[in-house]
Amino acid sequence: MANVSNDLPAIQVFISYAREDDAAFSFADPLKTTLKQLISGMSGRTAEVFLDRDDIPLGENWKEKIENGVRNSLVFVAVYTGNYLRREPCRDEFFLFLEQSRQLEVQTLLIPVVWLGFDSLLPEGEDEISDYVRTHQAADFKEAWVEGTASAPFKRNVLKIAERVLQVTSQVEDTLAAKERDVVERSIQRASPQEVTEAQSGASNLSVRQDPDDEVEDEDDDGLFELSEMMNSDLQVMTREAELLGTAMQGLGTLPDPPKDASSSPAAATKYMILAANAMRDPAKEIEQHGSKLFQATRRCDATLRRIVRVADASGSEEIRNNLYTSLAPNIKTLSELSAVDDQLNSLLEKMRGPEALSASVRKAARPARRGVTSVRDALSLISDWPTLVDSLNESPSPSKA
């Protein structure tokens, strides 16, 4: 008799990492191979382990793989390093998975790995990914890295990850099954007495009425109107924070002129650096504050937009899709102006490189502004997908979109 476990779908794991880290430490293939063997050996189920987006089969979109994978218990292993934070594709993958898993209340599917130990994490509040890793049971691979991928510490750590993969997969599948049961129960409540009688007697399958907001109700009972209101509200926040960023940037750009004797007098140079640091301190903090608020509103807006597209696809109504496209397209196009904010920030920070190289006071004062730039870039990365999402409303419905 065949093993029942062999009939179950494969356990899927997506490993997100920075390429330069693998080039230096050569861990990706050993991690993939060992993890795959352990999962299969411990559970009897096959395992599919993807080494970031390039390992996904040809013809599959990596974003759709992550979005749809969350609904099917895909486990996301993020290999944290300083390089991971700086690599835009890594940040894109991390935030996309985090948002999707939060929507379905299955955040345990995200398993962080700290490759060079917890000392490599940034101070609290410096970066959202670093903060998340610190507070979510990350696996510490520092000793495993020192000893090598053939060592006992490496094998022990990968074993812990495999055990955690199997544990969270089982728990999450129960959570997702409960959500599916809720969908059926709500469908029965909306069905006619005749349909319920037929379903209970086995005479026919219960037909689920596809109201335009059915799919969103499955998530948190918001309909298209409520979702549109939520998105408009967050778009207004984004616009306001972008304007405030512009004002803060002007303040950061008005630094005092250096004294004429700064190059020949160390005392004069030091005095100027302190004055420059004091002048940029408040604008830099404002850039961090407004950049963070811009990113948070953008992330909420991104989740709402994806849900709107899912609802429109599920409705099967060409009129609903066309109306949504007409109302959303102009607002999304205006957001392209936000790229100018990033350009201005980069220009200002480039001008500060010289003073930063010469003064610890200036570097410290500029730190919040650089965190603000990271938030703006994360927001722009999310926004870059929106035109494609909105344009999909103007195409033939497809259940795989959004």
Taking the C-alpha atoms of residue 180 and residue 28, their distance in angstroms, rounded to an integer, is 35
Find the mean pLDDT for residues 87-114.
Answer: 88
Structure confidence at residue 111 as a pLDDT band (50, 70, 90): very high
Count Cβ neighbours within 10 Å for each residue of 133-171 and write b for 16 or more, e otherwise: bbeeebbbbbebbeeebeeebbbebbeebbebbbebbee
Q: How many CB atoms lie within 10 A of CB 60?
A: 13
Q: How many helices (H) and strands (E) does the chain have?
A: 16, 5
Mean pLDDT along residues 308-321 = 85
Supply 294's token pair.
């811009």
**Amino acid, res. 156:** R
Residues 131 and 125 sit within 8 Å (Cβ to Cβ): yes
Mean residue pLDDT across the chain: 80
What is the pLDDT at residue 18?
94
- What is the separation, in whole angstroms, between the first and last Cα of the chain? 41
- Could you report the per-residue pLDDT of 212-231, keeping only the tens digit for each? 444 434 444 457 888 888 88
Confidence of residue 259 (pLDDT cuts 50, 70, 90): low
- Our measurement of the distance from residue 371's CA atom to the centroid of its chain's CA atoms, rounded to an integer in Å, reads 17
Evaluate whether 117 touches 140 at the Cβ level (below 8 Å): yes
Q: What pLDDT shows up at residue 264?
A: 56
**What DSSP letter does each residue of 356-389 carry, written as one string?**
HHH-HHHHHHHHHHHHHHHHHHHHHHHHTTHHHH
400 pLDDT exceeds 50? no
Q: What is 184-222 written as a DSSP string?
A: HHHHHHHS-HHHHHHHHHTSSPPPPP--TTHHHHHHHS-
**According to the model, what pLDDT value does residue 263 have?**
57
pTM of the full predicted structure? 0.66
In tens, the pLDDT along 17-35 reads 999 999 999 999 999 999 9
Identify the residue with better confidence: 184 or 18: 18
Higher pLDDT, 355 or 250: 250
Q: Which of 84-93, 101-110, 184-193, 323-332 has the lowest mean pLDDT?
A: 184-193
**Average pLDDT of span 244-266:** 71
pLDDT at residue 132 in the model: 93
Determine which helix (DSSP H) or strand (DSSP E) holds 336, and give its type and residue range: none
Angle CA(350)–CA(352)–CA(353) in degrees, nearest 5?
A: 70
Domains present along the chain, CATH in parentheses = 4-175 (3.40.50.10140), 214-392 (1.20.1050)
Q: State mean pLDDT over 293-300.
A: 92
Tens-digit pLDDT profile for residues 187-205: 555 555 554 454 444 433 4
